[in-house]
A and B are shown apart, each in its own frame.
Chain A
Amino acid sequence: MTSIDLNAWQRLAPMALLFLIINGGAKFIRENLYAFAGAGAGFAFLDRLGLREFLLGGLVALLVAVLVAIIYHRRFRFRIEGDAMRVRQGLIENKDLRIRFARIQNVGLSQPIYFRPFGLVRFTLETPGAESTEVALPGISRELALALRDHIARAGGGVAPAADDDTGQDPAASADDRREGPDDSTPLHVPGNFRLFLHGLVSNQVWLIAGVAAWLAGTFRERIEQWVDATGVSLVVQRTLELGWTGAIGLVGSLVVLLFALSGVLSLVRFHGFDLRDLGDRVLAVGGLLDRREQNIRREKLTGLTLCQTALGRLIGQWYLIGKQASSKEFEMDPSSGQFLVPGMRRDDLVLVGRLMPGFVVPDSLHPISRRFRTLFWTRISAVVLFLAGLAWWFLPDLRLLVAAALAVLLVVLWAVHRSWRCWGWRVDDGVCWVQQGLIGLQRDAFDLALTQQATVVRTPYFRRHGLASVRLVLPHGQVTVPFLAHEDAVALANRAIHAAETARFHRV
């Protein structure tokens, strides 16, 4: 392997230009798909447009995209400067970014399938303060990416830089030294393809797919109908429906099975060959079929974790884990996107929690929250529904069947309240706080109390009457609330969290 001078300005690989054009086009389509497909206006416009105008417009758009990509590619430079990485980029305005290694919490390498023949990778850096990826080098050689990754790990990741100091070498100049490979790492979790497929079945991704499919079916209804007629699928559907209820139920069942199978396959593609390894001060997660991704996470930058078990996951005893890191993001559309996610865990794999976050042990039992949670929602919801149902029963005798249906729904809602109360739980063990919530599925948040940024004790008039309080703890990765605690428990939890934060030796944010 040749030595790379990381102190010198580096550029993106020439082939990255092609990928910038493709990615730019894909991004443009992604961002404008809704506008294009909305109410069929885009198709109507296209139908009125002639082929010549369409090709001409496409050619102009392509020329603009190429020009933009060339300028972006030419201006993009990066290098190592002492204890930081510096990146210069920009199209209209120049952006000069300098990120100290100590602030970097993730180093990511990804290799889409079309990068592989050219030996290129996409290199990303993430910091706690940024809303999105702080640095993305879209297309550099794998050798350069590994050199950067290892240099950042040595300089900022806790591996003692003293060795470099002793030899008097410039750390940037010796990027090939002490490169970690699979040999000096310990495997933590290798779930296998079957479990990854199951992860797709039990994750909530299937509902997302169903939602997108419903939206597409609504938006492109006419075109889908044309396609269905042309391929003869409509004939099969018609024949099946002629079988009556059995046929209809079979058809719906097949659709559901298809959705679940699709979700399983997508999960398999996303996590294919998933391998989680312990590199001492860091953990390394590698996986992906079409886009091989490598997440290199500094262990000290993990601020907590969430263990999730969906309703279907509970049926087959499968969990997944999300590692939490400091973030300025307030809301996330898809909580699993881009996060450190460990799929396909069985009960036996829960020991992984302690191996990822030393000192964290999944508790066997949790303290329940007050029964008043259930009482409050039961009484308030029932009172409103019964009052309205009584009025409807009295004044609208024609709708009594509807009233009876509403009362049946009320029973389901009351059961859901009961389930929610049963799912809530909390516990503090050795300074680690566990908070569980859920309805049919379960979500367990775990975090070190010493990372508490602030603690809030909330008391409503109802809480004051019944000696209750809620505690809200702000953590570097977000907030966790424990509602309906006995007042003394809430105060004790807040006191403990604040004491842990004030006596912590390190503040890892």
Chain B
Amino acid sequence: MEQAGEGFSNEQVDPSTLPDFERVELTPVAGAYIHWAQITQSAFWLLLGVAALIATKLPFLPLDGLWWLPLPPVAIAAIASVYARLDARFRAWALREHDLVYRHGVIWRKTVIVPFSRIQHVEALHGPLERYLGLMRVKCFTAGGMSADLTVKGLDRDSARRVRQYLLEQIAETADGGVESSVVTGEEGPSRDLD
């Protein structure tokens, strides 16, 4: 729907002719993502298991007979590790001419599509472990609150940089009216000059 004005048209669109995001061939995340996901999701429980094991060996703690204490956290760590593996298997992404498609989730499988013309700015970031494993995340900010931001995890560093560069170019192109759209995209909030 377009506001009444010059160039207004309202022709019928056949939904079957629209580009289908389901036909896109998605690229799986980098192989190192499995290690990153396994480590980050099970590290806490493994540490808890080790702490519980040490606690049962300490003479001044009345934990005699509780030899099984480290088992629950270790079991959770094992489940988290399996879950991380499945998560990595389903996680994939793709770039189309005008949008970014990202699929993730094991039980709730979500496919997110973000048009370039709606991205306000892009961030590429990596933590110490990601740096070590050669991974990078790309975060796309759109309007609609914090929950509207999309983080594409599991890209290798080169892909992430290329994706970020591509997104920035596309944002600039759409902001210049390179596609048919966009006048105010890419703007940030109100400018503030703080003394």
Contact = CB atoms under 8 A, between A and B. Distances in A.
Interface residues of B, number: 52
A498 B188 CA distance: 22
A179 interface: no
Q: Which secondary structure characterizes the binding site on chain B?
A: loop
Nearest to B177: A505
Q: Which secondary structure characterizes the binding site on chain A?
A: mixed
A449 B182 CA distance: 15
Contacts of A96: 192-195
A478 B145 contact: yes
A374 B33 CA distance: 39
A134 interface: yes
Interface string B159-190: 00000000000000000000111111101111
A7 interface: no
Given A495-B19, A496-B18, A98 B115 contact: no
B107 interface: yes
A454 B98 CA distance: 12
A495 B194 contact: no
B112 A502 contact: no
A299 B52 CA distance: 62
Interface in B19-72: 19-22
A119 interface: no
Interface stretch (A14-22, A56-64, A264-272, A325-333): A325-333
A491 B21 contact: yes
Nearest to B146: A330
A101 to B, nearest CB: 11
A454 B190 contact: no
B18 A507 contact: no
A99 B99 CA distance: 31
Contacts of A460: 107-109
B127 interface: no
A370 to B, nearest CB: 17
A430 interface: yes
Contacts of B107: 460-461
B190 A130 contact: yes
Nearest to A506: B183
A453 B21 contact: no
Contacts of A491: 20-22
B184 A509 contact: yes
Nearest to B175: A507
A99, A457, A502 pick with most chain B CB within 10 angstroms: A502
B109 to A, nearest CB: 5
B76 to A, nearest CB: 22
B94 interface: no
Interface in B85-122: 98-99, 105, 107-118
Interface in A299-350: 299-300, 326-330
Contact of B1 (A326, A449, A479, A509): A449
B179 A456 contact: no
Contact of B144 (A461, A477, A501): A477
Contacts of B114: 453-454
A104 to B, nearest CB: 9
Interface string A467-481: 000000011111100
A96 to B, nearest CB: 5
A130 B189 contact: yes
A127 B191 CA distance: 11
A458 B107 CA distance: 10
B190 A99 contact: yes
Contacts of A84: 191
A306 to B, nearest CB: 16
Contacts of B147: 330, 474, 479
A405 interface: no
Given A430-B10, A452-B115, A129 B189 contact: yes
23 contacts: A94-B195, A103-B189, A127-B190, A130-B190, A134-B190, A326-B144, A330-B145, A359-B3, A430-B1, A431-B10, A432-B1, A450-B2, A453-B148, A455-B112, A458-B109, A459-B109, A460-B108, A478-B145, A479-B147, A495-B19, A495-B20, A503-B180, A505-B181
| 5 cross-chain pairs, A with B, having the tightest CB-CB distances, nearest first | A129-B189, A431-B1, A453-B142, A359-B1, A502-B98
Interface of B: 1-4, 7, 10, 13, 15, 18-22, 98-99, 105, 107-118, 142-148, 150, 179-185, 187-195
Given A100-B190, A326-B144, A502-B98, 15 more contacts: A97-B190, A98-B190, A130-B190, A299-B3, A448-B1, A452-B118, A459-B108, A464-B109, A478-B145, A495-B19, A496-B15, A499-B18, A501-B115, A504-B117, A504-B181
